[in-house]
């Protein structure tokens, strides 16, 4: 009986205009997204080749991640060049430019955005009339008048409807991925394929949440129009309102200075230390060259030490802000899915924090090199190397928690839908 119900649901969906419209929309969006992000990746790769330093430049920069084609996240920010300057100061390279200014005006159309907004909406639109539509047509009353149980009916309709939604989407992603990875410029390792597979698994869990939500609302309401309005409001609340509200509330709990304030404080440190050294040399007029060189090295050490304290305090506050924001926004599955997807792709907050730590370590290695007449450190510098976090690190540092949250939302919404349907008046 279960297979018959599932088959009936799939066949009804295949012949409905809703299936045709949503399938066409998802296919067009997936292919458009992958094409646009592939071109954006090539531009960022070209930018990286231009900015890649020689052995004479104290610059740290990382290559764009291939998975940023699917989940861009913070990859453009992580691809900036970081230059080590006088006194161990770390500055964003002056030649760094935004690769695609259009993304400053509009949301980046990567696959993550397509899934968490458009496909989530498609999931709800696919499911909002699962029960109410059958009631309005009188079908569900006739079906349940036979020996078919409510449990088999609900599960069969859920599985049939969900498969009708995700199979065209998965096929479109598979074909688009094959076309993108045929390019010799997109070099994906075996671990990258594993990351992409885990991202798709998380996407399926995420879409199942909204499909179950649609079934839940449909099993509470008695009219499809009412169910549709409630579903659209809940979708907007979970996808847009809660994540954005969480960012605002997080800043109310953590006092984080702006980048401009950080830059002003850094310049004040530099000016203060220089004036102290000049006053010291003015007092010690008879000091020889060795003493002056020692005083200069002491100046560099003090500037480096003060900058380290400043950056350490800023990063500590920033990490507290990130933690507070994550804890607030996790009441929405969209936030957990976003955190998990970006971390898996190597373009998330976890990777950005690891990269900043690696840049500081690189600075500690080379900051005390000689300084030329322009005040820039000079000499031969070791190449900056950075390896992105492994899948096991990602899963152990929050990935499993975010995946568990997605599973819990699935269980919660489906359980409530099941209990509501058992008490549903089909007359």
**Cα 72-76-77 angle, rounded to 5 deg:** 120
In order along its 427 residues, the chain shows pLDDT tens digits of 778 888 888 888 888 888 888 888 888 999 999 999 999 999 999 888 888 888 778 888 899 999 999 999 888 888 888 888 766 677 776 555 555 555 555 677 899 999 999 999 999 988 888 888 888 877 777 777 777 788 888 889 899 999 999 999 999 999 999 999 998 989 899 999 999 999 999 999 999 999 999 999 999 988 888 999 999 999 999 999 888 887 777 777 767 666 666 666 666 666 666 666 556 555 455 555 565 566 656 666 776 677 777 777 777 777 777 778 888 888 899 999 999 999 999 998 889 888 988 888 888 888 777 766 566 677 788 888 888 889 999 999 889 999 999 999 999 999 999 998 888 777 7
pLDDT value at position 104? 57
Q: Is 26 helix (H, G, I), strand (E, B) or coil?
A: helix
Which residue, among 136, 200, 193, 152, has the nearest Cα to 9 in the 3D structure?
152
Q: Taking the model in full, what pTM does it have?
A: 0.86
Which residue, among 346, 310, 128, has the nearest Cα to 220 in the 3D structure?
128
Dmax (CA) for the chain in angstroms is: 107
CB 343 within 8 A of CB 355: no
């Amino acid at each position: 009986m279960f297979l018959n119900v599932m088959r009936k649901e799939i066949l009804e969906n295949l012949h409905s205009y809703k299936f045709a419209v949503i399938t066409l929309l998802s296919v067009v969006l997936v292919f458009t997204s992958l094409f646009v992000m592939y071109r954006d990746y090539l531009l960022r790769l070209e930018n990286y080749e231009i900015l890649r330093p020689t052995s004479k430049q104290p610059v740290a920069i990382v290559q764009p991640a291939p998975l940023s084609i699917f989940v861009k996240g913070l990859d453009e920010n992580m691809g900036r060049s970081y230059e080590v300057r006088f006194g161990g100061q770390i500055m964003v390279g002056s030649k760094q430019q935004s690769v695609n200014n259009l993304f400053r005006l509009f949301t980046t159309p990567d696959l993550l955005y397509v899934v968490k907004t458009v496909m989530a909406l498609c999931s709800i639109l696919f499911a909002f009339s699962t029960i109410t539509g059958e009631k309005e047509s009188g079908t569900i009353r006739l079906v349940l008048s036979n020996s078919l149980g409510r449990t088999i009916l609900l599960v069969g309709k859920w599985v049939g409807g969900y498969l009708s939604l995700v199979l065209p989407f998965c096929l479109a992603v598979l074909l688009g991925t094959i076309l993108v990875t045929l390019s010799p410029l997109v070099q994906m390792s075996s671990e990258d394929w594993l990351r992409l597979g885990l991202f798709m698994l998380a996407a399926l869990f995420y879409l199942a949440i909204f499909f179950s939500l649609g079934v839940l609302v449909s099993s509470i309401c008695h009219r499809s129009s009412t169910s549709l309005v409630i579903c659209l409001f809940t979708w907007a609340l979970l996808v847009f309102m809660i994540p954005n509200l969480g960012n605002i509330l997080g800043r109310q709990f953590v006092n984080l200075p702006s980048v401009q304030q950080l830059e002003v404080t850094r310049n004040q440190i530099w000016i203060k230390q220089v004036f102290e050294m000049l006053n010291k040399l003015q007092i010690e007029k008879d000091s020889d060259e060795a003493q002056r060189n020692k005083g200069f090295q002491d100046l560099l050490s003090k500037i480096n030490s003060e900058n380290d304290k400043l950056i350490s305090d800023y990063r500590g506050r920033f990490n507290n802000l990130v933690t507070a924001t994550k804890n607030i926004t996790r009441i929405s599955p969209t936030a957990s899915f976003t955190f998990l997807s970006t971390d898996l792709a190597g373009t998330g907050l976890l990777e950005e924090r690891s990269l900043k730590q690696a840049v500081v370590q690189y600075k500690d290695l080379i900051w005390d090199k000689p300084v030329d007449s322009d005040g820039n450190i000079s000499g031969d510098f070791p190449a900056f190397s950075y390896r992105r976090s492994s899948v096991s690190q990602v899963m152990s540092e929050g990935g499993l928690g975010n995946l568990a949250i997605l599973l819990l939302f699935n269980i919660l919404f489906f359980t409530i839908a099941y209990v509501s349907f058992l008490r549903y008046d089909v007359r």
